[in-house]
Amino acid sequence: MRWVEDRLLELADKDGGYREFNARVVATADPATMMGVRVPRLRKLAREVSRSDDREAFLAELPHRWYEEYLVHAFVLNETREVGRAVRLLDALLPLVDNWCVCDALNPRAFHDEKALGGRRQEVLLPLARRWMASEHTYTRRFGVSVLMRDLLGEGFDPSQLCLAIAADNGEYYVRMMVAWYLAEALVTREHDALEAIGSPGIDPQLQRMAIRKGIESRRVPADTKDALRRLRR
Q: What is the DSSP string of 127-177?
A: HHHHHHHT-SSHHHHHHHHHHHHHHSSSTT--THHHHHHHHH--S-HHHHH
Which whole number is the average pLDDT over 108-131? 96
Tell which wins on pLDDT, 94 or 156.
94
Q: Which amino acid is at 100?
A: W
- Work out the pLDDT band at 124, boundaries 50, 70, 90: very high
Helix, strand or coil, per DSSP, at residue 43: helix
- Work out the pLDDT band at 196, boundaries 50, 70, 90: very high
- pLDDT of 167 reads 97
- pLDDT of 234 reads 73
Contact 114, 149 (CB under 8 A): no
pTM of the model: 0.95
Percent with pLDDT over 70 in the chain:
100
- pLDDT of 16 reads 86
What confidence tens digit (pLDDT) does each residue in 153-188 have?
998 899 999 999 999 999 999 999 999 999 999 999
Which whole number is the average pLDDT over 214-219? 96
- Residue 99 scores a pLDDT above 90: yes
Rounded (10°) CA dihedral 220, 222, 223, 226: -80
The residues, ordered by sequence, that sit 6+ positions from 165 with a Cβ below 8 Å of its Cβ are: 133, 145, 148, 179, 182, 183
The residues, ordered by sequence, that sit 6+ positions from 209 with a Cβ below 8 Å of its Cβ are: 233
- Residue 117 scores a pLDDT above 90: yes
The residues, ordered by sequence, that sit 6+ positions from 4 with a Cβ below 8 Å of its Cβ are: 45, 49, 54, 58, 69, 72
- pLDDT of 182 reads 98
pLDDT mean across residues, the chain: 96
Which whole number is the average pLDDT over 203-228? 97
Residue 112 exposed, middle or buried by CB count within 10 Å (0-12, 13-18, 19+): middle
Q: Of 155, 154, 215, 221, which is closest to residue 179 (Cα–Cα)?
A: 215
Which whole number is the average pLDDT over 127-145? 98
- pLDDT of 87 reads 98
- A 10 A CB-CB count for 119 gives 9
What confidence tens digit (pLDDT) does each residue in 72-85 have?
999 999 999 999 99
Which whole number is the average pLDDT over 125-149? 98
